[in-house]
């Protein structure tokens, strides 16, 4: 019970600070679940991240898997609810507030500022998490290639994930 309660409280607090979405927050999630709470080790964290990336669905499935690892299906449900509820309530009211704003400059100022912060957080997070989960030159090279393909082509991300998986099975990464 105390494990579930701690899962719920820590992830709820985490969610309330998760500006820029879950991907921007991966390093903080890593710090919380591996270093502070010892819910799982570094390798399992990296593997859960990979599973959530390979599976369909929102990126927050990493959190669902962490909950499942801590206390089974109940843990998965508790973790998923904890990561959703604080922001859901905030956005429910904020949406009403912003759509009622009359001044377009105020409205745009809020949106422009938030979007610049979100970009920085996503890129900073990618930088940080790549140091945690890539342990070879080949892995960093694969990350760089994935970035290039995403920016320069219209490939579906699923192809990249399949290629990454195959290279890994063959022992290159």
DSSP string, 104-149: HHHHHHHHHHHHHHHHHHHHHHHHHHHHHH--SHHHHHHHHHHHHH
- The verdict on 101 binding another protein (CB under 8 A) reads no
- The verdict on 74 binding another protein (CB under 8 A) reads no
- Measured CA angle at 80 (ends 120, 41), to 5 deg: 70
- The verdict on 71 binding another protein (CB under 8 A) reads no
- Measured CA angle at 74 (ends 70, 75), to 5 deg: 25
The smaller minimum CB distance to another protein, of residues 6 and 95, is found at: 95
> Which listed range, 2-10, 14-22, 33-41, lies at the site for another protein (CB under 8 A)?
14-22
> Which listed range, 1-9, 34-42, 47-55, lies at the site for another protein (CB under 8 A)?
47-55
In angstroms, the CA 132 to CA 52 distance is 17
The smaller minimum CB distance to another protein, of residues 38 and 104, is found at: 104
* Residues numbered 81-100 forming contacts with another protein, rule: CB under 8 A: 83-84, 86-88, 90-92, 94-95, 98
Among 40, 46, 70, 78, binds another protein (CB under 8 A): 46
> Which listed range, 2-10, 33-41, 111-119, lies at the site for another protein (CB under 8 A)?
111-119
DSSP three-state, residue 63? helix
The smaller minimum CB distance to another protein, of residues 18 and 34, is found at: 18
* Residues numbered 124-143 forming contacts with another protein, rule: CB under 8 A: 124-130, 133-135, 139-140, 142-143
DSSP structure class, residue 32: I
- The verdict on 110 binding another protein (CB under 8 A) reads yes
The smaller minimum CB distance to another protein, of residues 34 and 76, is found at: 76
């Amino acid at each position: 019970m105390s494990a579930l309660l701690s899962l719920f409280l820590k992830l709820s607090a985490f969610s309330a600070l998760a500006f820029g979405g879950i991907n921007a927050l991966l390093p903080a999630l890593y710090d919380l679940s591996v270093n502070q709470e010892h819910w799982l080790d570094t390798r399992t964290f990296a593997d859960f991240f990979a599973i959530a990336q390979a599976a369909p669905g929102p990126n927050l499935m990493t959190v669902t898997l962490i909950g499942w690892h801590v206390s089974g299906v109940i843990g998965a449900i508790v973790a998923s609810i904890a990561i959703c509820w604080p922001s859901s309530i905030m956005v429910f009211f904020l949406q009403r507030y912003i759509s009622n704003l009359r001044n377009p400059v105020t409205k745009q100022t809020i949106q422009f500022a938030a979007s610049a912060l979100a970009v920085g957080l996503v890129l900073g997070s990618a930088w940080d998490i790549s140091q945690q989960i890539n342990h070879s030159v080949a892995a960093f090279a694969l990350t760089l290639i994935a970035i290039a393909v995403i920016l320069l082509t219209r490939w579906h991300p699923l192809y990249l994930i399949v290629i990454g998986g195959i290279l890994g099975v063959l022992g290159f990464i």
